[in-house]
Amino acid sequence: MSMAEEYSFLQNVPIFADLEKDELIKIEKLGVRKKYKRGNIVVLEQEMGAALFVIITGKVKIVRTDEDGREVILSIFGPGEFFGEMSLLDGLARSASVVALSKTELFMIHRRDFLKLLHEHPQVAISLLGELTLRLRKADGQIKSLSLKDAAGRVANVILMLADDVGVFRKGKVEIDELPLQQDMANMAGTSRETVSRMIHQFIREGHVLLEGNKLTINDYEGFRKQYL
C-alpha cells in the first residue's frame, strides 16, 4: 500500500485538515499515542509542560481549581480537538488541568516537533489561530454572561456551552448525553447548586429543555439562545 492510501487518525483533526495524507503519516511518527482511564490527570495546572495533545478517542475536561480543591470546568474537548498549546507557545506553566472524562487515547507531540511543523506548514498555524480565536470568543461570551446576566442567563449560557462542546445537533435540537453534576454546572455559572436545579426546572416548564435521567435535550437551540443570551 502506498503511503497516500494509508489511513491516519490525524485526518480527522481540523487543524491538520489541509495537509496531504503522506504528510499526516509523517507527523504521526513524530509523536506517541497514550492511553488514559476515566479520571486520569493528563496535564496538571502550574506544572511546566512542553507537549501538545490531540484527542484520538474519548473526552477530556479542562479545569481550574482553587486552594480548597473546588474546580470550575472551562471547556470539554472530544475527538479531533487539541490542548496543551498555551504553555507550548508562551513557555509558561500549564494554565489549567486536563482530566480524562472517559477512556481516552491521545496523541502527544513535543514542542520542538510541533514548532517545526508550524514553520513547515503555515496553513496549520493559521488553522490553529482560527481555533484559538474561537476559544477567545467563547471565553468572552463567558465573561459577559458572568458579569452581566442574571442566574437564568448564566445557567442558560452553561447549557449552551455544553451543547457546543459535547452536544449532538439534529434538526434544531441538541442532545447532551451526560450532563455534568449540578454542582459542576453551578461552579461554571457562578451560582449555587440549588439555583441550577431551580433554573433547569424553569427551562423545562417553559418548554425549552427536556431532562431524561442524565440526558438534557434543548428543544429549539436558536430560540433558547435568543431568549437568554
Site residues (vs ligand CMP, CB under 6 A) = 43, 49, 62, 74-75, 83-88, 94-96, 98, 135, 139
At 87, list the grid cell.
504553555
Residue 172 is given by DSSP the state: T
Residue 48 or 204 with smaller CB distance to ligand CMP? 48
- Minimum CB separation of residue 99 from ligand CMP in Å reads 11
* CB neighbours of residue 223 within 10 Å: 13
CA 11 – CA 194 distance, rounded (Å): 43
Minimal distance in Å, beta carbon 56 to ligand CMP? 16
Give 132's contacts (C-beta < 8 A, 6+ positions apart): 85
Residue closer to ligand CMP, measured from CB, 26 or 135: 135
CB of 49 to ligand CMP, least distance (A): 5
For the bound state, the minimum distance from the C-beta of residue 87 to ligand CMP, rounded and expressed in Å, comes to 3
By beta-carbon proximity to ligand CMP, the closer residue of 162 and 209 is 162
C-alpha cell at 135: 476559544
Of 96 and 200, the one with the shorter C-beta distance to ligand CMP is 96
Give the shortest CB-75-to-ligand CMP separation in angstroms.
4
Helices (H), 17-121: 21-30, 85-90, 111-120
99, 105, 107, 108 alpha-carbon torsion, rounded to 10°: 40
3-state secondary structure of 51: strand
* Nearest of 108, 87, 96 to residue 62 by alpha carbon: 96
> 21 or 110: whose CB is closer to ligand CMP?
110
- For 19, 149, 193, 202, the CA distances from 155, given in Å and listed in that order, are 40, 9, 11, 11
Query: Closest approach of Cβ 204 to ligand CMP, in Å?
Result: 29
Residue whose CB is less far from ligand CMP, 83 or 107:
83
